[in-house]
Amino acid sequence: MKIHLFGRSIVRHTRFFSVIDRMIASDIVKTLLTVLSVLLLIIATRRFLRILRQAIEGEISGETILSLLGLKIVGTVSILIPSAIFLTVLMVLGRMYRDNEMTILAASGAGIFRIFRAVLIVVIPLSVLIGSLSLVILPWSVKKAEEIMNVEEQTANIRGISAGKFSEYSHGDIVFYVEELSDVNKMRNVFVQNRQHGKLGIINSEGGYVKKDSSGSSYIVLENGYRYQGFPGTTDYSVTKFGEYGVRVDQKATAVTTPREATSSIALWLSPLAADQAELQKRISIPLGALVLSLLAVPLARIAPRGGIYGNFLTAFLIYFSYENLMQVSQIWVVNRLIPPWVGIWWVYLLMLLVILILVVRAVGFEWMVSPFTGKATK
């Protein structure tokens, strides 16, 4: 039997991937890519501006901007996908109700359980992919970003050089001033005050530049100048003319710490700490959230079909807002040992499944819902 639905041919047959499944799945995939592209563009722009501000202020180097941005986007994608899938399914099915495609599908025998199956064909593989992102790639990206930031903090002294500003380095032992700084980090009219073994040194040079030796130590190399050195309050000082003189700038000593978000999922699984269990459940909630929210969108799109794509957005937003808040509250309860980890976030998913069941019964009626199992079609 062949049905023409708004220019699309639908064939009823018993194969697992029917034309109906492929039609709905393809619409979901295309819409999801569009939604994700828009959300990623907004988030990536904000992240880029934040990282760019850090680079301008000298907190990070320009070479690490793209690396940090890529690592941040990895974490953003895994967090955005569940909400993007929820929005996508709601938009696709809402449009199909508005265009009366769902009415024709229902007339051809494709009920709500058929729609559930078509949605799950897309969402289940996506949930597996999201699970690998949240459990493996996300902690790796956080760890790599922390390693980059630790290195950048150690070398932040040199990047803090700017024209027309006095800067302190090496715990205040060096005071540095440069009148002009070119795009290639060449300095002109440089003034340096440093202390070594109780002696105060004043250096004035025509120019200079920054270099690193083989051991990774940083030096400010001054060119064509004079060095005045002596003890403050005495006339015992020396004057030295030089063609090239290097001043070592000590790197910051930073404590390397691994945040819980960067801990591997296996280590969290083996850990008896409640905070580690809460972090692990947070990662597991990402793929589970994508699956449950996509199931929730199916009856939500059916409740008020005349509302079209945006008919149930307010209800969907309220449910999603409640879901996210309950997840955060549950994680806090686990960390504070108000509930045991085995309860954790799982009660939230049981509540969501109950909400889905209520919405399905409200949308199609209890008798119609059980008709596939009883063999009696009531609607």
Using a cut of 0.95, tell me whether the model's pTM lies above it: no
Residue-wise pLDDT tens digits, 39-79: 888 888 888 888 777 776 666 666 677 777 888 887 777 78
Cα R_g (the chain), whole angstroms: 31
Mean pLDDT lowest for which of 32-36, 210-214, 297-301? 210-214
Nearest to 188 by CA among 203, 207, 175: 207
Q: DSSP label at 377?
A: -
Provide the 10 A C-beta neighbour count for residue 83: 17
pLDDT at 292: 92
Distance CA 122, CA 113 (A): 15
The full length of the chain comes to: 379
Top-ranked range on mean pLDDT: pick from 138-142, 186-190, 283-287: 283-287
Residue-wise pLDDT tens digits, 265-319: 888 898 888 888 888 988 999 999 999 999 998 888 775 555 545 556 777 888 8
Q: Is the pLDDT of residue 11 over 50?
A: no
Q: With pLDDT > 70 as the criterion, what percentage of the chain qualifies?
A: 72
pLDDT at 7: 47
pLDDT at 163: 66
**Annotated domain spans of the chain:** 2-154+258-374, 161-249
Q: Please, which pLDDT band fits residue 12 given cuts at 50, 70 and 90?
A: very low
Q: Which carries the bigger pLDDT value, residue 21 or residue 196?
A: 21
pLDDT at 1: 44
Q: State whether residue 244 is helix, strand or coil.
A: strand
Q: Please, which pLDDT band fits residue 351 given cuts at 50, 70 and 90?
A: very high
Mean pLDDT lowest for which of 124-128, 211-215, 327-331? 211-215
Average pLDDT of the segment spanning 236-244:
79
pLDDT at 188: 80
Distance CA 225, CA 205 (A): 4
pLDDT at 376: 55
Distance CA 181, CA 164 (A): 9
Q: Please, which pLDDT band fits residue 13 given cuts at 50, 70 and 90?
A: very low
> HSE on the CB side for 181, CA within 13 Å?
15
Q: State whether residue 273 is helix, strand or coil.
A: coil
